[in-house]
């Protein structure tokens, strides 16, 4: 309910060109906009910052926030804005600290789809688990870390995020002793679907738009959100080489189909996008895609990406090229995706090599 009220208030503020918007962090409200640099910040030009209002995200608080935004908008327009009115010393609650931490995060890097995805997927996923109204302390962060399973991906990510928050808040917390020994190699790989099953599942999807999405994931090994961030004009012209746009997790890249026959089989030139809100961050778009397909498939949608990685080995694609087409480093490619290679994959690759006419032959000895 509060989200709808905030959106309505922000619509009115935007129409009035106030230059500020209301944001909710935890159960508290903030104003965000382009504001003059704070004293002793070392900055000289206005940039995106937040003002903590100290009010709850309820109807009365939202009403107050809208009025305050209009008042501050006048101060900004008349160049009478002064941080002394709003700076009340060191923030105390975790919600306050998260607001400052997020502000600092985007002050040191360009705010775009890639950084928004990282913030939402890696940082905010951890920070939302902290009690927003509690005072920030080393002990509270330590307890949050210890509440996660040891030697797990969750523990490693939690240590990374809360360690960064502790450093930002000048808290004494050494997270290295808790991070554990997790690595992609340490987890047991699941079996991935074979290509016959992948092709069969395409025809089991009733919705034509989602069937098209599935075909793209299978043929190009894309991340779920990337299906909605493509150069669609090239696809519609029937060009096999796919262009993933810059506003994705790892930016612009080109991808070749494995198998190229699937481009025609799955009718990928006939672009059909499901009616979902693609203006959301990449993480939300990808989650919507995965949720829909997960309910329809006997395997996880991300397994299509893993299957593509393994398939490139059978094609003989160089590791560095496969890594580039997947949008990650060779190290990530080897440590993450090579775990999915089964004995059957090795055997198939061996048999293909043995059939090559130009393969080396064993020496012939004269006895």
Do 245 and 229 form a contact (C-beta atoms < 8 A)?
yes
What mean pLDDT value characterizes the chain? Answer: 86
- Percent of the chain past pLDDT 90, that is, above it, reads 49
| Burial category of 6 from C-beta neighbours within 10 Å (exposed 0-12, middle 13-18, buried 19 and up) | buried
Q: Which of 96-100, 222-226, 311-315 has the highest mean pLDDT?
A: 222-226
Q: Give the Cα separation of 315 and 232 in Å (integer).
A: 26
> What pLDDT is stored for residue 328 in this prediction?
80
Do 49 and 39 form a contact (C-beta atoms < 8 A)?
no
Q: Check whether 52 has a pLDDT greater than 60.
A: yes
Provide mean pLDDT across the span 80-102: 79
Token pair 């669609």: residue:
232
Q: Check whether 199 has a pLDDT greater than 70.
A: yes
Which CATH entry fits the domain spanning 1-89: 1.10.3470, 3.30.300, 3.30.160, 2.60.40?
3.30.160
Q: Give the Cα separation of 36 and 81 in Å (integer).
A: 8
Q: Check whether 244 has a pLDDT greater than 90.
A: yes
Do 319 and 334 form a contact (C-beta atoms < 8 A)?
yes
Q: What are phi and psi of 51, to 5 degrees?
A: -120, 120
| Burial category of 125 from C-beta neighbours within 10 Å (exposed 0-12, middle 13-18, buried 19 and up) | middle
Lowest mean pLDDT across 36-50, 86-100, 207-221: 86-100
pLDDT tens digits for 299-334? 999 999 989 988 887 787 888 888 899 888 777 766
pLDDT-based confidence at 182, cuts 50/70/90? low
Q: Check whether 70 has a pLDDT greater than 80.
A: yes
HSE of 320 in the Cβ direction (CA atoms, 13 Å)?
0
Instruction: Give the max Cα distance, the chain.
Output: 100
- Nearest one of 53, 89, 58, 56 to 71, comparing CA atoms: 53
Provide mean pLDDT across the span 221-229: 95
Higher pLDDT, 342 or 260: 260
What fold characterizes domain 195-351? hpI Integrase; Chain A (1.10.443)
89 in the Ramachandran plot: left (φ > 0), alpha (ψ -120 to 50) or beta?
A: left
Do 214 and 223 form a contact (C-beta atoms < 8 A)?
no
How many residues are listed for the chain in this entry? 367
Element (H, E) at 48: strand 47-56
Provide mean pLDDT across the span 107-125: 84
Do 330 and 320 form a contact (C-beta atoms < 8 A)?
yes
> What pLDDT is stored for residue 187 in this prediction?
47
pLDDT-based confidence at 229, cuts 50/70/90? very high
3-state class (DSSP) for residue 79: coil
Q: Check whether 237 has a pLDDT greater than 70.
A: yes
Q: Give the Cα separation of 47 and 197 in Å (integer).
A: 52
Q: Where are the domains of the chain?
A: 1-89, 90-182, 195-351
Q: Give the Cα separation of 251 and 248 in Å (integer).
A: 5
HSE of 279 in the Cβ direction (CA atoms, 13 Å)?
0
Q: Check whether 186 has a pLDDT greater than 70.
A: no
Full-model pTM: 0.59
Kindly list the distances between the CA atom of residue 282 and the CA atoms of 120, 131, 144, 273, 290, in Å, as whole numbers in the listed order.
9, 26, 27, 15, 12
Same fold for the domain at 1-89 and the one at 195-351? no
pLDDT tens digits for 134-151? 888 889 999 999 999 988
Higher pLDDT, 269 or 4: 269
Q: Give the Cα separation of 158 and 147 in Å (integer).
A: 10
Q: Check whether 184 has a pLDDT greater than 50.
A: yes
CA angle, 207 then 212 then 216, to 5°? 145
């Amino acid at each position: 309910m509060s989200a709808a009220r905030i959106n309505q208030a922000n619509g009115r503020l935007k129409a009035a060109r106030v230059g500020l918007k209301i944001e909710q962090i935890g159960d508290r409200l903030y104003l965000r906009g382009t504001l003059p640099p704070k004293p002793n910040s070392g900055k000289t030009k206005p940039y995106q910052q937040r003002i903590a209002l100290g009010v709850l995200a309820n109807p009365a608080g939202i009403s107050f926030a809208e009025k305050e935004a209009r008042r501050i908008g006048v101060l900004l327009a008349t160049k009478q804005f002064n941080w002394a009115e709003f700076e009340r010393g060191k923030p105390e609650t975790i919600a306050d600290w998260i607001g400052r931490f997020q502000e600092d995060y985007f002050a040191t890097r360009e705010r775009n789809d890639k950084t928004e995805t990282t913030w939402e997927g890696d940082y905010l996923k951890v920070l939302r688990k902290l009690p927003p109204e509690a005072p920030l302390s080393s002990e509270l962060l330590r307890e949050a870390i210890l509440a996660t399973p040891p030697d797990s991906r969750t523990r490693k990510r939690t240590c990374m995020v809360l360690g960064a928050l502790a450093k930002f808040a000048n808290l004494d917390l050494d997270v290295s002793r808790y991070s554990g020994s997790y690595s992609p190699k340490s987890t047991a790989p699941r079996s991935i679907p074979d290509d016959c099953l992948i092709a069969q599942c395409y025809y089991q999807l009733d919705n034509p738009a989602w069937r098209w999405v599935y075909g793209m994931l299978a043929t190009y090994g894309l991340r779920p959100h990337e299906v909605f961030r493509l150069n669609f004009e090239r696809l519609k012209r029937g060009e096999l080489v796919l262009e993933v746009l810059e506003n994705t997790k790892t930016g612009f890249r080109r991808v070749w189909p494995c198998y190229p026959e699937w481009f025609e089989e799955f009718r990928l030139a006939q672009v059909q996008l499901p009616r979902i809100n693609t203006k959301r961050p990449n993480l939300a778009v990808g989650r919507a895609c995965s949720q829909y397909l997960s309910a329809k498939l006997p395997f996880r949608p991300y397994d299509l990406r893993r299957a593509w990685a393994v398939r490139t080995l059978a094609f003989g694609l160089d590791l560095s090229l496969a890594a580039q087409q997947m949008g990650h480093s060779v190290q990530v490619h080897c440590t993450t995706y090579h775990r999915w290679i089964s004995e059957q994959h090795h055997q198939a690759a061996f048999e293909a090599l043995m059939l090559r006419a130009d393969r080396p032959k064993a020496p012939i000895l004269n006895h």
